Structure 1
Amino acid sequence: MSTKNTVILGISILLAFIGASAIVTNGMLAFKSMERTVVVKGLAEREVDATTAIWPIRMTSAGNDLEGIYQSLEGQSQKVRAYLLNLGFPESEITLSTPQIVDKLAQSYGENSPLRYSGSVTLTLYTSKVQTVISARQQLLQLAKQGVNLASEDYNARTEFLFTGLNELKPEMIEQATRNGREVAQRFAQDSDSVLGKIRRAQQGVFSIRDRDSTTPHIKKVRVVSTIEYYLTD
């Protein structure tokens, strides 16, 4: 091969290399441009009323006559049941637990107790009449006047309020969270002199249901946070 042909071949290879490099470089720049993204959080919150109430009513009795303890607990249970039925709660929503009796003489701490036996029984109401439960709880003095010895609520016997309508709220709340996230991403794009593109990926957060506050457990706050990643372009 002549020197002239060798030079021409070398120039051709060089030009081809430069052209290929330009194509690869432009492709990388385009790829990097498509990979510019922003990740935002979209929030949706709702306050809703509880749909179900679980109300355990625990009654107690103490004495030295075991049979008398059982009779006392039975009489108190009948009065509480009558009270609930009179408020319009159906029999099917009321359940009664097995009485629990403690013999204090069989316990080391009860040797000096003047009353040998103490007993308790719990009547539980499971209902969708939440507002009626709230009103009834505020009028428990009526039961006390009838000789019902009501135990104070503790962790194992406290009134619970539940919200069971989450499935109906989900679609609208997810839409709201997505819309909220897009507004945040749009502001970010404007501040960075970019154009907001399509969604690259989205992750729906876990729905949480909590009491609005400690004084109104029958009002719930439903919350969801979605994580959304958008493309950014110039």
Structure 2
Amino acid sequence: MKNFRIEAAILAIGLLLLGVFIEKGFSTFAERDRSVSVKGLAEMEVPANKVTWPLVYKSLGNDLGALYDEIKRSNQTIIQFLKEKGLDEKEISVNAPEIIDLKAERYGNTQAENYRYNVTTVITVTSEKVDLVRGLISEQGELLKRGIAITSGEYRYNVQYEYTDLNKIKPQMIEEATKNAREAAKKFAKDSDSELGKIRHANQGQFSINDRDANTPYIKKVRVVTTVDYSLNN
């Protein structure tokens, strides 16, 4: 009868070594898969560098020809006012007037209307001279002395402030957000008795630009949240 002691011993040693390698492999895989995902926030307040200011006035009348002449004079008066205050002609645009025939209105009370035509005219200022325009907005009552009443309150014609130099501050904000993310990751690693490793994956996140608050729309809050995955080492 053949003796299988040597073969059995070899098989036992092979199984033992296989078990050691498998255990070591699982351990290495687990170590490699240990990571932490953190978010880093960066915020910055910046002044708006572009403003769009619609100046709106209305005209009433029964004769379109006379209304045309009146609107032309009023436009010239407003443009002259804006130029006197420091704006350039290229920063001023005159929109086509919006005419409503009150007698043609289906639900209008035509018997009570004293005028047939209601004309809305908009002159739009688009400028990077934000501080200058803000001052002019508070001085627009001066146009009353020149016979023009600027209307306000229509949601379509609100003053809009923008910040257009995002690319100038992006690197600084991303650096700050990444730094804040790393600080959070280091704290996590310390609490878990680990050492922080290299970045495995990073997502810059979306930048958002909003008004700081309802009372100061000319000051913008820029915000970005980055997501960073770090490996963890024993």
What TM-score bracket applies, with the shorter chain setting the length?
over 0.9
Give TM-score scaled by structure 2 length. 0.95
Instruction: Trace 1:134-145 onto structure 2 (pairs within 5 A).
Output: 134-145=134-145
* 2:65 paired residue among 55, 64, 67: 67
What is residue 228 of structure 1 aligned with on the other side?
A: 228
- Asked if 2 retains the 8 angstrom alpha-carbon contact of 1:59 and 1:77, the reply is no
Q: For residues 151 and 94 of structure 1, do their structure 2 counterparts lie closer, same or farther at Cα, with a shift above 3 Å needed?
A: same
Give TM-score scaled by structure 1 length. 0.95
Farther-moved stretch of structure 1 (17-26 vs 176-185): 17-26
Q: Tell me by how many angstroms 1:155 deviates.
A: 2.6
What is residue 179 of structure 2 aligned with on the other side?
A: 179
Q: Tell me by how many angstroms 1:11 deviates.
A: 1.2
Q: Distance in 1 between matches of 2:67 and 2:214?
A: 35
What is residue 56 of structure 1 aligned with on the other side?
A: 54
Q: Distance in 2 between matches of 1:153 and 1:98?
A: 20
Instruction: Trace 1:91-110 onto structure 2 (pairs within 5 A).
Output: 91-110=89-108
Q: Tell me by how many angstroms 1:63 deviates.
A: 2.3
The AA in structure 1 aligned to 2:10 is S
Q: Tell me by how many angstroms 1:210 deviates.
A: 0.7
Q: Does 1:10 align with 2:30?
A: no
Q: Distance in 1 between matches of 2:197 and 2:39?
A: 16
What is residue 27 of structure 1 aligned with on the other side?
A: 25
Q: Tell me by how many angstroms 1:88 deviates.
A: 1.1
Q: Distance in 2 between matches of 1:79 and 1:215?
A: 30
Runs of 4+ in 1 over 4 A off after TM superposition: none
Q: Tell me by how many angstroms 1:69 deviates.
A: 2.2
Kindly provide the CA deviation profile for residues 132-171 of structure 1, in whole angstroms up to 9, marking residues without a partner as x. Answer: 0111101111012321121214232111111110111111
- Asked if 2 retains the 8 angstrom alpha-carbon contact of 1:44 and 1:224, the reply is yes
Question: What SS does structure 2 have at the residue aligned with 1:198?
Answer: strand
Q: Distance in 2 between matches of 1:133 and 1:153?
A: 18
- Asked if 2 retains the 8 angstrom alpha-carbon contact of 1:44 and 1:225, the reply is yes
What is residue 194 of structure 2 aligned with on the other side?
A: 194
What is residue 130 of structure 2 aligned with on the other side?
A: 130
- Asked if 2 retains the 8 angstrom alpha-carbon contact of 1:204 and 1:227, the reply is yes
Kindly provide the CA deviation profile for residues 200-223 of structure 1, in whole angstroms up to 9, marking residues without a partner as x. Answer: 111110111111111111111111
Q: Distance in 1 between matches of 2:98 and 2:154?
A: 16
The AA in structure 2 aligned to 1:136 is L
Uncovered stretches (5+) of structure 1, i.e. residues with no partner: none
Q: Tell me by how many angstroms 1:109 deviates.
A: 2.8
Q: Distance in 2 between matches of 1:142 and 1:115?
A: 27
Q: Does 1:39 align with 2:55?
A: no
- Asked if 2 retains the 8 angstrom alpha-carbon contact of 1:73 and 1:120, the reply is no
Work out the percentage of aligned pairs sharing the same amino acid: 40
Q: Distance in 2 between matches of 1:153 and 1:203?
A: 42
Question: What SS does structure 2 have at the residue aligned with 1:108?
Answer: coil
Farther-moved stretch of structure 1 (69-78 vs 31-40): 69-78
Q: Tell me by how many angstroms 1:196 deviates.
A: 1.0
The AA in structure 2 aligned to 1:64 is N
The AA in structure 1 aligned to 2:58 is T
